[in-house]
Structure formats: structure tokens, C-alpha cells
């Protein structure tokens, strides 16, 4: 029998087996690619009856940082436009709330796209990313310096205890083994009055329920699945509170959407091939459309007054 499983958010032992592991071998860095489209393949998942948090269990959870350090994702840049437009949108909304912000830290920065967008808004920005490969690519392709895109995670000595007006974690918290500690470390890097921006899939969304095991966010890289309730609790435990909560908007090239739909509806791949053969239609496929899939949440978190004064 295995040891008692405790909820990694609330610590409760009312955690029950939820889904069996669908990966038959040991987790390797390539399994964690952002561009992985093996939807529905996960580690063993358990669900907390108390707070609703769903977490992956397995020996690999302790090794995640090392696996991410070795991650190479050569197709990551193909989603650049989608990510860039979402970051512009998030930054605009965050600056509406915190218009005097001058500094930004992006945790899980990838190749540094948010850093570039923040610099374009005249913010002093730093990104932190565990993957050596993405950091090297980001510095080379995006012209970022070693102090603008740092390899590692938080807390990080390279930050010299600097605090930031905006601390972003965009589609990151679902990848970490200990979300509450991660949020505490993010809160420690946040200036008083600063805003922490968290984006994560919503496991209680209609899409998650309708698609069930085949929901696109069920993937090996995701080891923690939140909804509004469990995020609220995790934030509180980290000394943060939710100032604003809303659905994440995505910006997809039509081609990307068509390719994703083909995963669920194979005949679509024939249409995609036909389009690729016709230049005019291909141009349509390159257009980007804003979409709200209603299955991902944005949280604007601020430090709780009681803890901020400590």
C-alpha cells in the first residue's frame, strides 16, 4: 500500500484516487513540452474532497525542476503570435489596475515574450525560466541580456531580493509540485501594493466536464488542476487574496485552431491539407482570432493586508 496522500493545497488527507496513470514509462523532459498535444495522457491523479484540487502523484513530482531544466521545445516558437497577443492583453488589463507599475517579473518566462512586451510598455522586466534551452533561444532570438532572462526558478539569488510591481505566472502554477510555496515565493517578490497575475486552466469549467479525459489541459506537464475555489484557498494560504478573477482570452491563428480540432475530429485534417495546397485559403489560415474558451482563469492577486504588514 502506498503512503497516505495529502492535498498539496490544504493538507487534508481526504484525497481520493481520481484517474489512473496513462504513461507506461518514466517521465522524460520531452513529455513536458508546452507544445505537447497528447491530450488526456497524465500521471496518476488524486482529488481532494475538501478543496477540490486535483494533483498528480508519483516519484517524478520531486524531480520536476530538473526535468524542466533539460526541456527542449523546438516548436515552442510556433505559438509565438498566440502567446504574444495574450500577453499584450494581460499586461493591458494589469496596468489598468496598477497604472503606476514600473517593474515586472515573469516566472516561467519561456523565451521571454512577456519581458519583451513589458519592455515595450517601458517597464523594467525580468524573466525567469528553468529550461536552459528556452533561455538560450530567448536570449539569442529576442536580444535579451543574461540579467533580463535568468535560468532558474524562484526564489533566485540573481534577483538580489528585488521586489516587483507586477509578478506574472502565466500557465505555470499547474506545472509546479508545491503551489502554495510557489505562491508564497511569488508574494515575497511582490512589492506592497503590487499585483500578482496568475493564469491557469479551470478544471471545473464546462469544457473540462464535457471533454472529460480528453480535455486538452489533461497532459503530463500539468501536475496540479485548479478551479476558482482551490485557487482562492491556495492564495489565502500564501498570504494573497483575489482582487479580480476573469476568464482568459486566447488569440489563435485559424490554422492552429484547425489543427487542434483535427485532434478531436480527424476528417478536419483532410480539410487542413486541402487548405495548405491553396495559397489564398492559407492566408486566411494565418489570420488570428480572439477566443474565449471559458476553461482558463486569470487571477489578479494582491498581498493580504494582515500579512503585508508583517
Contact residues: Zn ion, CB under 5 A: 7, 9-10, 12, 48, 50-51, 53
- Would you say 220 or 233 has its CB closer to Zn ion? 233
Strands 224-225 and 54-57: antiparallel
Alpha-carbon distances of 176 from 9, 10, 162, 250, rounded to whole Å: 12, 16, 23, 22
Q: Do 154 and 128 meet the contact criterion of CB atoms below 8 Å apart?
A: yes
- Least Å from the CB of residue 5 to Zn ion: 11
CB of 12 to Zn ion, least distance (A): 5
CA 162 to chain centre: 23
> Which burial class, exposed, middle or buried, applies to 305 when counting CB atoms under 10 A from its CB (0-12, 13-18, 19+)?
exposed
Cell numbers placing 211? 471533454
Q: Between the CA of residue 299 and those of 132, 169, 245, 264, what are the distances in Å?
A: 28, 10, 5, 29
CB-wise, 17 or 265, nearer to Zn ion?
17
Q: How far is the CB of 208 from Zn ion (least distance, A)?
A: 18
Q: 51 or 67: whose CB is closer to Zn ion?
A: 51
In whole angstroms, how close is the CB of 49 to Zn ion at the nearest point?
Answer: 8
Joined grid coordinates for residue 124: 523594467
Closest to Zn ion by CB, 92 or 229: 229
The residue written with cell numbers 485532434 in the block is 263
Least CB distance to Zn ion at residue 188 (A)? 23
Provide the 3-class DSSP secondary structure of residue 302. Answer: strand
Question: In the complex with Zn ion, which residue's Cβ is closer, 177 or 268?
Answer: 177
Minimum CB separation of residue 15 from Zn ion in Å reads 7
Query: String of b and e for 48-80 (b: at least 16 CB within 10 Å)?
Result: bebbbbbbbbeebbeebeebbbebebeebbebe
| Contact of 94 with 166, CB cutoff 8 Å | yes
> Which of 9, 195 has the CB closer to Zn ion?
9
Q: By CB neighbour count within 10 A (0-12 exposed, 13-18 middle, 19+ buried), where does 279 fall?
A: exposed
Q: Which H helix or E strand runs over 105? A: strand 103-107
Nearest distance in Å: CB 170, Zn ion: 24
Of 99, 92, 91, 152, give the one whose Cα is nearest residue 127. 152
**Smallest distance, Zn ion to C-beta of residue 6, A:** 8
Q: Nearer Cβ to Zn ion, position 50 or 89?
A: 50
Amino acid at each position: 500500500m502506498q503512503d497516505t496522500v495529502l492535498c498539496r493545497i490544504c493538507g487534508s488527507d481526504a484525497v481520493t484516487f481520481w484517474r489512473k496513470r496513462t504513461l507506461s514509462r518514466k517521465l522524460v523532459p520531452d513529455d513536458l513540452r508546452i507544445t505537447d498535444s497528447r491530450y488526456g495522457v497524465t500521471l496518476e491523479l488524486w482529488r481532494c474532497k475538501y478543496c477540490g484540487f486535483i494533483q498528480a502523484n508519483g516519484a517524478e513530482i520531486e524531480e520536476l525542476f530538473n526535468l524542466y531544466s533539460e526541456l527542449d521545445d523546438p516548436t515552442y516558437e510556433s505559438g509565438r503570435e498566440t502567446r504574444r497577443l495574450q500577453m499584450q492583453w494581460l499586461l493591458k488589463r494589469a496596468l489598468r489596475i496598477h497604472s503606476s507599475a514600473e517593474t515586472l517579473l515573469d516566472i516561467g518566462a519561456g523565451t521571454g515574450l512577456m519581458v519583451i512586451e513589458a519592455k515595450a510598455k517601458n517597464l523594467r522586466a525580468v524573466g525567469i525560466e528553468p529550461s536552459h534551452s528556452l533561455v538560450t533561444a530567448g536570449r539569442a532570438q529576442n536580444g535579451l541580456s543574461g540579467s533580463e532572462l535568468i535560468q532558474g526558478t524562484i526564489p533566485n539569488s540573481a534577483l538580489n531580493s528585488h521586489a516587483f510591481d507586477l509578478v506574472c505566472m502565466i500557465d505555470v502554477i499547474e506545472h509546479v509540485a508545491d503551489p502554495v510555496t510557489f505562491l508564497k515565493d511569488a508574494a515575497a517578490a511582490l512589492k506592497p501594493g503590487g499585483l500578482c497575475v496568475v493564469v491557469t486552466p479551470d478544471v471545473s469549467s464546462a469544457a473540462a466536464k464535457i471533454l472529460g479525459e480528453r480535455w486538452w489541459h489533461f497532459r503530463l506537464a500539468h501536475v496540479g488542476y485548479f478551479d476558482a475555489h482551490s485557487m482562492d484557498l491556495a492564495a489565502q494560504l500564501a498570504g494573497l487574496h483575489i482582487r479580480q478573477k476573469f476568464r482568459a482570452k486566447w488569440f489563435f491563428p485559424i490554422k492552429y485552431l484547425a489543427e487542434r480540432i483535427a485532434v478531436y475530429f480527424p476528417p478536419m485534417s483532410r480539410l487542413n491539407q486541402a487548405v495548405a495546397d491553396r495559397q489564398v485559403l492559407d492566408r486566411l489560415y494565418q489570420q488570428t482570432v480572439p477566443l474565449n474558451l471559458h476553461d482558463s482563469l486569470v487571477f489578479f492577486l494582491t498581498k493580504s493586508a494582515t500579512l503585508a504588514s508583517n
